[in-house]
Amino acid sequence: MIPADWIPHRRPGDRELVGYLVLSGDDVLPMNLLGQSLSEPIAYDEAESLLEERGLAGLAGRWVLTLADGTDHPVVITQIDAGRVVLSGAVSGAIGEVGLQHALTLPAGDQLRPA
């Protein structure tokens, strides 16, 4: 579960949740919806801009899931909420394709990374 002290950040236009701000001294750490940092700690307004710029688009595309046994699997994100992310191994986009289905508790840490 995303820690309660992380500050949710929503896009001003449509109020869509695009990430979190984590206080770090006088600065903040911008975190994507997976709970992964997007930069080093930076000024609050810079962090907001970075989240709005990368937002949900930063979650699109292919990812690599590392399972407990150390094996890597190509996946795409099919669903995300404050508590978990659902992943599918159906990366070719073929209708009816069934692949690895996996759910991770958030934050995802280093178990999930861009491909």
User: In this predicted structure, what is the pLDDT of residue 112?
Assistant: 93
Residue 11: both structure tokens together: 């896009």
Residue 72: both structure tokens together: 């890597």
How many helices (H) and strands (E) are present in the chain, helices listed first? 1, 8
Same domain, 74 and 89: yes
- Which residues constitute the domain of residue 18? 7-58
Q: Which of 35, 58, 81 is the last residue of a domain?
A: 58
For residues 63 and 78, the answer to whether their CB atoms sit within 8 Å is no
CATH number at residue 88: 2.30.30
In-domain check, residue 1: no
Residue 41 has pLDDT above 70, yes or no: yes
Q: Does the predicted TM-score (pTM) go above 0.85?
A: no
Closest to 53 measured CA to CA, from 32, 34, 23? 32
Same domain, 75 and 38: no
User: Other CB atoms closer than 10 Å to residue 15's CB: what's the count?
Assistant: 8
